[in-house]
Amino acid sequence: MAKNKITEQQLLLVEGKDECNFFEALLTYEKIKKVQCINIGGKDKFPNEFTAWFNMEGFKAVSALGLVRDAEVNQAKSAFESLCYNLKEHHLPVPSTPSTLNLGPPKVNIFIMSDNQGSGMLEDLCLKTIKGQTVEKCLCDYLACISANQVLLEEQEKFNESKAKVQAYLAMRAPIVNSLGLGAKVGYWDFSHPSFHAVKEFLHTLFG
C-alpha cells in the first residue's frame, strides 16, 4: 500500500496496521481485488485522517468507500454515529445502519466490530473461531491464573483480556507471529468459520 497516496478507486479505512493486515488477508481469501486498505492510525485520528484522505488527489474518482471501527467498551451505535458524522461533514453518502449500503455515489458502507451491535473489537471476532475448542479453555484458564496473580503495580489498570487471549493463542502457533493481522496472513484464523459471515458480506456488498 502506498502511504498517503490513493492508488485504487475502492478504499477501506481501518483503525491500524493490524486491521489492514487482517483485511488484506480476508480480501485475498474472498478473491476481492483492487481495494486499497488504509491505516488511519487509531480511532481518535479518524476525523483528521479522513479529512486528509478526502482532500487527496484521486478521492473524487473513488467509487466505493468502506469504514471499519471497533466498538470497544461502548455499544456499536456510538462508533457508527461518530463515523456518520465524519461522512456528513464531507457531504458524502451516509448509511442508515451498520452494514447497510448507501449506493451513493460513491457507494459507502460501515462495519463496527465485532458484530455491528454490542461492544467489542476485531480480537473478539477472531476469538469466536476457536470458541468451544479445547484451546479456548486453555486460554481462559491461563488468563484466569494471570489475572489472579497480577502484580500489584498493574492491578489499577486491568489488561485487555481479548487482546491477551489473541497474543497467547498466537504464541502457541508455529511459527509464532506477534499480531492478529500477521496471524491472518499466515492462516491462523479460519476464514471459513461462520463468525466471519457478516464481515465478508459487508465486503462483498461494497466491493463485490
pLDDT value of residue 208: 85
Reduced to 3 states, what is the DSSP secondary structure of residue 28? helix
Q: Is residue 56 domain-shared with residue 66, that is, in the same domain?
A: yes
Residue 41 φ/ψ region, left for φ over 0, alpha for ψ in the -120 to 50 degree band, beta for the rest? left
Q: Is residue 92 domain-shared with residue 163, that is, in the same domain?
A: no
Radius of gyration from C-alpha coordinates of the chain? 18
- The answer to whether residue 199 is domain-embedded is yes
Q: Is the pLDDT at 157 greater than 70, yes or no?
A: no
Q: Is residue 153 domain-shared with residue 105, that is, in the same domain?
A: no
Q: Is residue 72 domain-shared with residue 62, that is, in the same domain?
A: yes
Q: Is residue 168 domain-shared with residue 202, that is, in the same domain?
A: no
Q: Is residue 107 domain-shared with residue 87, that is, in the same domain?
A: yes
- The answer to whether residue 2 is domain-embedded is no
Task: Please identify which residue in the block is written with the cell numbers 448507501.
Answer: 102
- The answer to whether residue 5 is domain-embedded is no
Strand-pairing partners, residue 102, are 108
Q: Is the pLDDT at 146 greater than 90, yes or no?
A: no
Reduced to 3 states, what is the DSSP secondary structure of residue 18? helix
More confident residue, 150 or 87: 87
Q: ∠ at Cα 189 (187, 193), nearest 5°?
A: 120
Least confident of 50-59, 130-139, 149-158: 149-158
- The answer to whether residue 128 is domain-embedded is yes
pLDDT value of residue 80: 97
Least confident of 10-14, 44-48, 122-126, 201-205: 44-48
Question: What CATH number is given to the structural domain containing 31?
Answer: 3.40.50
Of 131, 125, 117, residue with least CA distance to 26? 125
Q: Is residue 116 domain-shared with residue 175, that is, in the same domain?
A: no
Q: Is residue 90 domain-shared with residue 131, that is, in the same domain?
A: no
Q: Is the pLDDT at 3 greater than 90, yes or no?
A: no
pLDDT value of residue 79: 95
The boundaries of the domain holding residue 171 are: 122-185
Q: Is residue 106 domain-shared with residue 134, that is, in the same domain?
A: no
Mean pLDDT, residues 190-198 taken together:
98
Reduced to 3 states, what is the DSSP secondary structure of residue 122? helix
pLDDT value of residue 22: 98
Name the phi and psi angles at 17, rounded to 5: -65, -40
* Each residue's pLDDT tens digit, 5-52: 999 999 999 999 999 999 999 999 999 999 999 999 999 999 999 999
pLDDT value of residue 2: 42
Q: Is residue 199 domain-shared with residue 151, that is, in the same domain?
A: no
Q: Is the pLDDT at 153 greater than 70, yes or no?
A: no
Reduced to 3 states, what is the DSSP secondary structure of residue 5? coil
Q: Is residue 111 domain-shared with residue 17, that is, in the same domain?
A: yes
How many domains does the chain fold into? 2
Q: Is residue 94 domain-shared with residue 141, that is, in the same domain?
A: no
**What predicted TM-score, i.e. pTM, was given to this entire model?**
0.93
